[in-house]
Structure formats: C-alpha cells, structure tokens
C-alpha cells in the first residue's frame, strides 16, 4: 500500500491530562513551531518542527500554516440531529419547548429524504465548526440514524448515534412501543455498531417518555452487545424532575430510575445534570458514567447553571455538549465562551486549559475513546483542526496583544466560532476548508 505520509507545520497545542487533577502546567503540550505528521489516517509523529524535520525524508510534503494553531478535533458529547431546523425556538422552557416545537420538528424525519437532507446539513455544520466526533440523538425513526451513519461513513468520521426510544407522554405520531424500539434499535446495532469508525448508542429520550418496560429493554440491549453506548437526559429542569418523581414514586430520585434499569456505566452519557445532588454525582462517578455539560442550552431554556466544581470533586467524567437545537450553536468554541460565564455566575473560574480539555480529551474520556481521539498523541486517529489567528479583523487585532498561549487560547474561545476553523481533518483527510 502506498504511504500517505504528510506533515503539518504550525503552532500546535493539545491537552494531555485534566488540569483539575494534575494542575494547569502539566495538563497540556505546546509547540510554538510544531510539526504534526500523519500517515494512513493516524498521527505518526508530533514534535518541534526543526527537530522532527531533520529526521524525515527531505521530499516529504509539508504544509506550513504561519499564523494558525493546530489542535485535536472537537468532541460534542450531546447533540440532536433532527433539531437542526429549530435552533432558536422562542419563549419556552423545557417541557413546553418539547411539545410546542421539538416534537413537530422531529416528526418530519419519518420521511427518509428529509432525514438525508438534514443529515447532510448537520454533518457539514459539525465539520465547519471543527467537531470531528459527536454523540448524536436521532429521532424516533430508524431512518434518521441510517441517514446520518450513511453520510458519516462516506467521510470516515468517528461518530456515535442512536434512534430515540419513546413510548409514552409524547404525541402518537412520534411514539414507538417497548418492543418496536427494542427491535429497531437491535437492527441498527447489527447494521452499524463497530462498522468503520461508527458506534451505536441506546437512546431512551428521558425517563418521562419511556415506560418501565421500555427502560428494561434498553438495559437488556446494553447487556446483549459489548461496548454499546447509552445516552439520555437527566435533571435539566425543575418541573421535569418533579414529573419524574410523580411517574416513578418508588425510586429514590431521577438518577435512581436509570440506575434501577441498569443504564449507568462506562459508556453512558447523561446530558445536562444541572440539578444533580452530591450523592447522584458520586453514584455517576462510581459507575464510570459521564455528564454532558451544555451551557448554551441551559442558558437558552433557562434551565440553570451546571456545577462543574462539584463534578470535579467527585472525579466525574464531563464532556461538553452543544445540545443543538436547545443549544444555540454548533461551535464548541462558542459553547466554551458560555461555559466560562456559567462558572463566573457561580463565583468559579474556567481556565482556558480546562476548556480545551473539556472540548477534546475530556470528551474523549467521557466516551472512553481517549486511545483514539482527543489528543495528538502518535498512534491516535488523525482528527485535527487548523484554527486561523486572522479569522476576523477583531480576532486578528486582539491576538496581537496576547502575550502567551494561555491568553491566545482564551481569546480564541471568547471571540471564536465557525469562522475560526480554517480546516478540519478526519482520519487524515481534509473534510472542511473554510
Ligand atoms: N429532554 C428530553 N428531550 C430533550 C431534548 O430534546 N432536548 C433537551 N434539551 N432536553 C430534553
Ligand atoms: Zn438534548
């Protein structure tokens, strides 16, 4: 097989550990004049450009970006494909927002052609924003997941998705049954899980829209196949939490519902967790589960402020989620801008290196994929970004005043968005060029 070795020269930065655990200085590697070498879809070397170039054949193709920063691809641990067309739906909090806007919008995915059209827009939007891996909710229709995976496979993306399971408390036109959701999920697992870089996630929407029978079958699927993911929502909104108590009076609380049906575990990702208590954080951590922190969504729906310091205290895995369409942006840079404000409102800080960690290695750890994505370590997938220091006039001017990489990184997160992403690479292939 012919080698596809290529080298990229630029400033290069990646997270190598959680700053909350090892301290900021030991949490990252930065090469002011770095070189990233890729070969056959993987990263084969990383280091200082002058040193590494000396060890490479003189004729190797080197792409030089003089005013740019290479980082790992971003990881979005919570997003909804069928909500692409309803970002910015006015006026409601969670439960009314679902009934008024979300369910009618998702019903359109009964039509495979519609699902294909939106999947194309959705994937393009992910890549434009530098997101190379996402944990994705489809609609209740299996064809929404087929449409997504078919297109992700063509681009050789590392993606995780699942069909929503929802058999009560939603309109008839959008519900399945416990049995049909089990059979349809199983067929999708057989078709897609482990194919190339694709993975399947069992996806009960949230406790209020599943009967005990459906939650039992979701747990059964997880026990039947190795390495399946589980994604759902938890403790996002106070009314939602009261409703769960009414629907499951025999359980200790919201998390205990999922725990009872054996939905916690190392590949389980719970979106939001804004109102989790100390004991629930401890139980999530103990089971190796993860939480997706979704700041733009939590602001937009007026849900509340995620308590990241409490999660850190329990050593709970946390990734970042856009939660489009309750979230208002596909950009994880923009999402980090809002995450910073969530911490400010609680009298806490979010360092730029913790932010970088959340958007990359932290997300990879939440998904148990840190051996493959989230860093630029040699041997991992060549999923990376070229961020442009001159993306906008203000960014360009502001970065001229920055004195070090910490300041540069923080400004990129404060002023950055899709325009900042000059190029996105997945498995070594250019999949987006601004
Ligand atoms: N809880 C149940 N379904 C949803 C959803 O689609 N979005 C959000 N933000 N929360 C939910
Ligand atoms: Zn969501």
pLDDT tens sequence across 203-238: 999 999 999 999 999 999 999 998 999 999 999 999
Indicate the angle between helix axes 332-344 and 352-359, nearest 10 degrees.
130
Upper half-sphere CA count for residue 385 (Cβ side, 13 Å): 34
Q: In this predicted model, what pLDDT tens digit does every residue of 102-117 receive, in sequence order?
A: 999 999 999 999 999 9
**Segments of the chain assigned to CATH 2.30.40.10:** 6-73+375-433
Q: Is the CB of 77 under 6 A from ligand 1?
A: no
**Structure confidence at residue 4 (pLDDT):** 84
pTM: 0.98
The two structure tokens encoding residue 99: 């009934």
Closest to 131 (Cα-Cα) out of 396, 327, 285, 268? 327
Check residue 73 and report its DSSP letter: P
Which of 99, 109, 206, 275 has most ligand 1 atoms within 8 Å of CB, for mutation?
Answer: 206
Cα of 413 vs centre of ligand 1, distance in Å, is: 26
Over 60: is that where the pLDDT of 55 sits? yes
The CATH code for residues 74-330 is 3.20.20.140
Q: Are strands 131-137 and 429-433 parallel, antiparallel or unpaired?
A: unpaired
Q: CATH 3.20.20.140 in the chain, residues? A: 74-330
Name the closest ligand to CA 274: 1
Tokens of 117: 């059209």
Task: Please determine, for residue 420, whether its predicted confidence score (pLDDT) is greater than 60.
Answer: yes
Does the CB atom of residue 326 touch ligand 1 within 6 A?
A: yes
Across the range 380-402, mean pLDDT stands at 98
Closest ligand 1 atom to residue 303 Cα is: 9
Segment 267-293, tens digit of pLDDT: 999 999 999 999 999 999 999 999 999
Q: Write the CB contacts of 172 (distance below 8 Å, at least 6 apart in sequence).
A: none
CATH number of 6-73+375-433: 2.30.40.10
Distance 122 CA to ligand 2 centre (A): 15
Helix axes 405-415 and 393-400, enclosed angle (nearest 10):
160
CB 103 within 8 A of CB 86: no
Q: Residue 3: which pLDDT band, with cuts at 50, 70 and 90? A: low
Residue 381 is given by DSSP the state B
Ligand 1 atom with the smallest distance to the CA of 80 is: 6
* C-beta separation of 373 from 381 below 8 A: yes
Q: How far apart are CA 283 and CA 264, in angstroms?
A: 9
Percentage of the chain beyond pLDDT 90 is: 98
- Nearest Cα neighbor of 138 from 158, 154, 122, 155 is 122
User: Average pLDDT of 15-33?
Assistant: 98
Residue 188 has pLDDT above 70, yes or no: yes
């Amino acid at each position: 097989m012919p080698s596809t070795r290529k080298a990229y020269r630029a400033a290069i930065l990646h997270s190598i550990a959680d700053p909350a655990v090892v301290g900021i200085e030991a949490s990252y590697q930065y090469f002011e004049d770095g070189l990233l070498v890729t070969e056959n879809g993987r990263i084969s070397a990383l280091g200082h450009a002058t040193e590494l170039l000396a060890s490479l054949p003189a004729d190797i193709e080197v792409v030089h970006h003089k005013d740019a920063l290479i980082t790992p691809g971003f990881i979005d641990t919570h997003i909804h494909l069928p909500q692409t067309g309803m970002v910015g739906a006015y006026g409601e909090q969670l439960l009314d927002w679902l009934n008024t806007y979300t369910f009618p919008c998702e019903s359109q995915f009964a039509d495979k052609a519609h699902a294909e059209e939106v999947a194309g827009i959705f994937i393009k939007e992910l890549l434009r924003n530098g997101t190379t891996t996402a944990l994705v909710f489809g609609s209740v229709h299996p064809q929404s997941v087929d449409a997504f995976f078919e297109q992700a496979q063509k681009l050789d993306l590392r993606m995780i998705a699942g069909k929503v399971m929802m058999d009560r408390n939603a309109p008839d036109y959008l519900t399945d049954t416990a049995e049909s959701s089990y059979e349809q999920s199983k067929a999708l697992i057989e078709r897609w899980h482990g194919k190339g870089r694709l993975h399947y996630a069992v996806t009960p929407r949230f406790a209020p829209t599943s009967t005990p029978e459906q939650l039992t079958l979701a747990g059964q699927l997880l026990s039947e196949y190795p390495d399946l993911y589980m994604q759902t929502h938890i403790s996002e909104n106070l009314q939602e939490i009261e409703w769960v108590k009414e629907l499951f009076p025999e359980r200790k609380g919201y998390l205990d519902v999922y725990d009872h049906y054996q939905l916690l575990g190392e590949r389980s990702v719970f979106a939001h967790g804004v109102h989790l208590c100390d004991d629930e954080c401890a139980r999530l951590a103990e089971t190796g589960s993860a939480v997706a922190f979704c700041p733009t969504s939590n602001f937009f729906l007026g849900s509340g402020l995620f308590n990241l310091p409490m999660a850190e205290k329990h050593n709970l895995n946390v990734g970042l989620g856009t939660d489009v369409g309750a979230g208002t942006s596909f950009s994880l840079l923009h999402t980090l801008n809002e995450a910073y404000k969530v911490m400010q409102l609680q009298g806490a800080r979010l360092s730029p290196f913790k932010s970088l960690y959340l958007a990359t290695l932290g997300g990879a750890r939440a998904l148990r994929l840190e051996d493959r994505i989230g860093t630029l370590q040699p041997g991992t997938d060549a999923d990376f970004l070229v961020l442009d220091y001159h993306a906008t006039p203000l960014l360009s001017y502001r970065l001229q005043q920055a004195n070090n990489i910490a300041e540069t990184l923080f400004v990129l997160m404060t002023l950055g968005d899709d325009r900042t992403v000059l190029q996105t690479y997945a498995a070594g292939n250019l999949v987006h060029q601004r």
